[in-house]
Structure 1
Amino acid sequence: MPVSRDFGGAGCNGLEFVAAFEALAGTMRSLGFAMAAANQATLIDCIHSMGTREQQIALLPRLLDGEPGATAISERGTGTEIRALQARLTGDKHGYRLNGHKYNISLAPDASIILVAARYDDDARTHTSLVLLDAALPGIVRSGPQGTLGVRDLPIGDLQFDDVPVDRQRVLGAPRDGLKWLMHIASMNRAYFALSCASVVRPFLADALAYAAERKILDVPIDAHQYVQRRLVDVRMRAERSRWMALAALGQWLHGDPDALESCSIAKITAAQDLTQSAIDLLALHGSDGYRYGALSTFVTDALAMVSAGGTEEMHRRNVFAQMQRRRERDMKTAVYTPAVEDTAETSAESA
């Protein structure tokens, strides 16, 4: 939808896509599918917004035709901590070489196009670089889908890069400029994950409302009891809270607001917490019926995945704290002296 017509897209604006994504996530009953759609949308936006004309012509039609893409940031032991990247991009006479290992990457087992974040050392300084790779390149080895507790409909696997040849045309932007683009990508992804959390619970809440109206104890529907009503209302309130926080964060991101970096992390933390608690409440409301293997129990295990998907809570809190520190430093630099009340009074007296 947001891709220009020049590359086969519909030419819609970002808000139209947000509305469509929200409806999709709220209908599919699959958190894994919503996560896959968010990841694909993030990669498409990245190439559409930041790629060269050649990269756009070569890659966007493939992605729009349904070829899956993967964004490879996370590494074993460090997760999505950008400062700890071990995958390395080094220069050679033909361009670059990529070496490293990526861990727990969504769609890695099936991806045709892979965006990889790596460190690039230049003149004794370390930079973050982003490269766009075709999965068929020599030196790329990927695992099959890994066993996971939840989101089993989202293939997750590892990627190994052994001296992979990288043409200069495959680098997204300059090799030294990857960090700002990576933060742009990460913020978008976090906000869409938050919106997924808010949206995916809707059909399960509708199921719970119907169940509570039909389930009777001593000929009284259980939704007549206040504690049942409270659980259902709490699920609704959490979903709305997460939804509006996600929409606000996406609004900032779409308008280039620098505060979006912080807001997207806050939205992701809050939405993941809300979804987890709502899933547990829905499970408790259905009693032993919910604990049996089925749509609801699958939803509960999927919800638990959001604790770490898109970055752990601790990582997002570090990001929020870093933004708080930067804002404080900025405010201190731009602070304007305001006279105290007594100073103002003395000045007024002198003027008189």
Structure 2
Amino acid sequence: MAVQRVLPTEEAEDLLALVREIAAEELLPAADAAEAEGRFPREIYTMLGQAGLLSLPYPEELGGGGQPYEVYLQVVEEIAYAWMSIGVGVSVHSLTCFPLAQFGTAEQQHRYLPAMLSGETLGAYCLSEQQSGSDIASMRTRAVPREDGYAVSGTKAWISHAGDADFYSTFARTSDEGGRGLSCLLVPGDAPGLSFGAREQKMGLACDPVAEVIFDDVVVEADRMVGQPGQGMSIALAALDSGRMGIAATATGLAQRALDEAVAYARERGQFGRPIIEHQGLAFLLADMAAAVGAARASYLHAARLRDAGHPHSLEASVAKLTATDAAMKVTTDAVQVLGGYGYTRDFPVERFMREAKVTQIFEGTNQIQRLVISRQLQRK
């Protein structure tokens, strides 16, 4: 069913109507076949960029859409409802633009952001490593200063769009001062010495390619340093607050889709002379699913509104990520249960939704890490 939304402006209402139209006409019809094939649908990102949907949360003077984060996240939710891989990809691309948009110089922003925000170029966010996923300060990828910039060596792991991106927002060690020794570099996708591992064989999100990004003395010009040397840790953490809200929005869209599929099936499937939705045991299960989706949406919107108002929102971003992704896992699993044996087959999409939901509890910081972030924030209050 169409989600009842309270949007801040008439412009935002028109934007959501456009997104629903694109989702219905371009995303939904293509998703099943593309996911079965496992190909990267670059043309979809080009189309979304041309529609102005990859630039929404960034200022108009930088080439962005000038929309508040609460509107942008609801756009992401609608996209994920139609095609989860694309919703995740849009969130990832927005994350890759964040360091430059927030910490770059005016010259860097005017040089690189127009192509990034228009979808002409697509980004990847190179933070995680095999031995330093949640422990950012222990990363080993190193950027060694040289006369013409930096030589980057090391390997990043679990990188979305690896091998398909045009630029890589990359975090590397420029000194041995732990978390204060990290810096952010904008690495071109065609840089000599840059290579990629085999794509990970994931259980879901087949159209979101993930692989290692390997840096072998990749030379990066000095003017591609984003922020100051040693500022990388603060840039990464600020970006992750926004990225976690993006994942919360995608998880909510996925959960809403699973709920809608389950309700539609329950209305049509008959047992004991009436639709199974009229049986209290199943009706209450659907009610719990709806409550979980509503709570997920409320949690990410609360975090987004705090961000839009300029208030601290790290705790709320983690709460949203935890709440929405746990809800997605529960709701998609319950959707399979509602469909019974059919839910366990690939003739119906809910089994794919369940597989896609699982990773939302893992990336952008596992839900165990979110609990750690939340508890530490509580200790400081």
Work out whether residues 117 and 130 of structure 1, in 8 Å CA contact, stay in contact via their aligned partners in 2.
yes
**C-alpha offsets along residues 108-154 of structure 1, whole Å, 9 cap, x if unaligned?**
12011100112221689842211111011111111243210111111
**Count of aligned residue pairs for this structure pair:** 324
- RMSD after superposition: 2.0
2:212 matches 1:212: no
Quote the residue 1:296 is aligned against. Answer: 350
Deviations 1:158-177 (A, max 9, x none): 10111111222111100111
- Report the AA paired with residue 160 of structure 1: I
Other-structure match for 1:22: 77
How much does 1:233 deviate? 0.8
Mean CA deviation greater in 34-43 or 72-81: 72-81
C-alpha displacement at 1:37, in angstroms?
0.7
Aligned partner of residue 201 in structure 1, secondary structure:
helix
Bigger radius of gyration, 1 or 2?
1
The structure-2 alpha-carbon separation of the partners of 1:271 and 1:229, relative to structure 1 and needing over 3 Å to count, comes to: same
Contact 1:119 1:127 in 2 (8 A): yes
Q: 2:61 aligned with 1:12, yes or no?
A: no
The amino acid of 1:232's aligned partner reads: L
Distance 2:73 2:345 in 1: 34
Distance in 1 between residues matched to 2:378 and 2:263, nearest whole Å? 41
2:160–2:211: 8 Å Cα contact kept in structure 1?
yes
Secondary structure (helix, strand or coil) at the match of 1:324 reads: helix
Instruction: Report what 2:379 is aligned to.
Output: 325
- Structure 2 length normalisation: TM-score? 0.80
How far off is 1:31 after superposition?
2.0
Q: Counterpart in 2 of 1:338?
A: none
Q: What SS is found at the alignment partner of 2:202? A: coil
Alignment partner, residue 331 of structure 1: none
SS in 1 for 2:304: helix
1:102-117 map, 5 Å? 102-117=156-171
What secondary structure is seen at the aligned counterpart in 1 of 2:330?
helix
Deviation digits for residues 198-246 of structure 1 (CA, Å, limit 9, x no counterpart):
1222233222112111111121211111110111111111111111111
Residue 286 of structure 1: SS of its match in structure 2? helix
- Tell me what 2:316 maps to: 263
**2:54 aligned with 1:54, yes or no?**
no
Find the aligned partners of 1:311 and 1:124 in 2 and give their Cα distance: 20
Is the CA contact (8 Å cut-off) linking 1:44 and 1:63 kept in structure 2? yes
TM-superposition CA deviations, 1:72-124 (whole Å, max 9, x none): 11111332321221112222233222111111111112011100112221689
Q: How does 1:75-114 map to 2 (within 5 A)?
A: 75-114=129-168
1:157 is aligned to 2:211: yes
Equivalent position SS for 1:195 = helix
CA contact (8 A) 1:187 1:253 kept: no
Residue correspondence of structure 1 range 268-287 to structure 2 within 5 A:
268-287=321-340
Contact 2:303 2:316 in 1 (8 A): yes
Superposed, 1:186-201 pairs within 5 Å as 186-201=240-255
- Correspondence for 2:238 among 165, 168, 184: 184
* Aligned counterparts of 1:7 and 1:17: Cα–Cα separation in 2: 16
Residue 33 of structure 1: CA displacement?
Answer: 1.4
Instruction: Look up the equivalent residue of 1:289 and give its one-letter code.
Output: Y
Give the direction of change, closer, same or farther, for the CA distance of 1:323–1:119 in structure 2 (3 Å limit). farther
Q: Compared with structure 1, are the counterparts of its residues 84 and 317 closer, same or farther at alpha carbon in structure 2 (3 Å cutoff)? A: farther
Q: Distance in 2 between matches of 1:12 and 1:218?
A: 51
> For residue 45 of structure 2, what is the aligned residue in structure 1?
none
**Residue identity (%):** 27
1:68–1:235 distance in 2 versus 1, CA, 3 Å: same
CA contact (8 A) 2:137 2:233 kept: no
Is the 1:113–1:132 contact (alpha carbons within 8 Å) kept by the matching residues of 2? yes
Distance 1:42 1:124 in 2: 23
Aligned equivalents of 1:190, 1:16: Cα separation in 2:
16
1:138 and 2:192 aligned? yes
Give the whole-Å Cα distance in 2 for the aligned partners of 1:180 and 1:124.
12
Distance 1:167 1:326 in 2: 40
Asked whether the equivalents of residues 183 and 261 of structure 1 are also in contact (C-alpha less than 8 Å), the reply is no
Q: Deviations over 1:45-81 (max 9, x none)?
A: 3322221122222322222332220001111133232
In the alignment, which of 19, 33, 37 is matched to residue 86 of structure 2?
33
Long gaps (5+) in structure 2: 1-55
Which residue pairs with 1:45 in the alignment?
A: 98
TM-score w.r.t. length of structure 1: 0.86
**5+ long unaligned stretches in structure 1:** 328-352
State whether residues 89 and 208 of structure 2, in contact with CA within 8 Å, keep that contact through their aligned partners in structure 1.
yes
Q: Distance in 2 between matches of 1:248 and 1:125?
A: 30
Whether contact under 8 Å (1:107, 1:155) holds in the other structure is: yes
CA distance in 1, matches of 2:374, 2:279: 40
The answer (yes or no) to whether the contact 1:194–1:242 under 8 Å persists in 2 is yes
SS for the counterpart of 1:121 is: coil
Task: Tell me what 2:128 maps to.
Answer: 74
State the shift of 1:278 in Å: 0.8
**In 1, are the aligned partners of 2:73 and 2:245 still within 8 Å (CA)?**
no
Q: Distance in 1 between matches of 2:96 and 2:291?
A: 32
Instruction: Determine the C-alpha separation between the residues in 2 that align with 1:108 and 1:7.
Output: 26
> Residues 150, 19 of structure 1: CA spacing in aligned structure 2 closer, same or farther, 3 A cutoff?
closer
Alignment of 1:113-124 (within 5 A): 113-121=167-175
- 1:2 equivalent among 48, 57, 63: 57
The runs of at least 4 aligned residues of structure 1 exceeding 4 Å deviation read 122-126
